[in-house]
Amino acid sequence: DAGITQSPRHKVTETGTPVTLRCHQTENHRYMYWYRQDPGHGLRLIHYSYGVKDTDKGEVSDGYSVSRSKTEDFLLTLESATSSQTSVYFCAISGGKGENTEAFFGQGTRLTVV
Amino acid sequence: SQQGEEDPQALSIQEGENATMNCSYKTSINNLQWYRQNSGRGLVHLILIRSNEREKHSGRLRVTLDTSKKSSSLLITASRAADTASYFCATDSGGYNKLIFGAGTRLAVHP
């Protein structure tokens, strides 16, 4: 799986609580991404990073924040979880061979907000 | 909004048959990629075709790209039961290798 580890793999949390998902890579890829996958929507980009401390919003960023303090780690935080954030979250990396190249995905984190 | 949209949404075939999936997109692209996802797993990259390419092969996979029609197709020849999965097209058009995915095609290959 291209040296990408997501943690936790499964989490159940209550509405209104903060949640942080972690993505760790050992590939030294420049770019990192967080996507969410919901039935009928494919994968949608939440946030991405193009370097340490360099992040930007994706298509569905409301309610999420990210941080990247080291090349290998990209954190996704739900400040106050809502039921609409129940989803499967995937981290991806890219840019190991430069621009215009493929992405590699982690195994996903299944998050349930009750 | 989704950039790529796959057609059909679901496809059921017998082993040995060919499977064709189509993808349409809306804006100009740097490249278009196809990914496979087995149930409950992460996505696996299959093939990347750049905007200046028209056709690409990889093993039993053949991808075509028509930038004038903003469409692509993925052909899997001589399908196997192990090809059962969801297939997604994704377009890279905005820099930083960001991808926008379609909703996917669910392929079932029956022995």
pLDDT at residue B93 in the model: 84
Whether residue A5 is predicted with pLDDT greater than 70 in this model: the reply is yes
| Amino acid in position A3 | G
pLDDT at residue A59 in the model: 92
- The helix/strand count (H/E) of chain B reads as 0, 11
Q: Do A100 and B33 touch (CB under 8 A)?
A: no
Who's near B17: CB < 8 A, 6+ residues apart?
A: B79, B109
* B65-89 pLDDT, tens digit each: 999 999 999 999 999 999 999 999 9
Chain A: give the shortest CA distance to residue B37, in Å: 10
Nearest to A107 among B42, B50, B103 (CB): B42
Chain A: give the shortest CA distance to residue B51, in Å: 10
Chain A: give the shortest CA distance to residue B100, in Å: 7
* B13-61 pLDDT, tens digit each: 999 999 999 999 999 999 999 999 998 789 999 999 999 999 999 999 9
Contacts of A56 in chain B (CB under 8 A): 96
Query: A16-38 as b/e, with b when 16 or more CB fall inside 10 Å?
Result: eeebebebbbeeebbbbbbbbbe
Nearest to A102 among B33, B101, B102 (CB): B33
Whether residue B95 is predicted with pLDDT greater than 90 in this model: the reply is no
Query: B30-69 as b/e, with b when 16 or more CB fall inside 10 Å?
Result: bbbbbbbbeeeebbbbbbbbeeeeeeeeeeebbbebeeee
Nearest to B103 among A33, A41, A45 (CB): A41
Phi, psi dihedrals of residue A84, rounded to the nearest 5°: -70, -10
Q: Do A108 and B42 touch (CB under 8 A)?
A: yes
Contacts of A35 in chain B (CB under 8 A): 101
pLDDT at residue B94 in the model: 76
At residue A1 the predicted structure's pLDDT band, cuts being 50, 70 and 90, is low
Q: Which residues pair with A67 in a beta bridge?
A: A75
Q: Do B99 and A59 touch (CB under 8 A)?
A: no
Whether residue A97 is predicted with pLDDT greater than 80 in this model: the reply is no
Contacts of A90 in chain B (CB under 8 A): 42-43
* A35-93 pLDDT, tens digit each: 999 987 789 999 999 999 999 999 999 999 999 999 999 999 999 999 999 999 999 99
At residue B4 the predicted structure's pLDDT band, cuts being 50, 70 and 90, is low
Q: Do B96 and A48 touch (CB under 8 A)?
A: yes
pLDDT at residue B1 in the model: 42
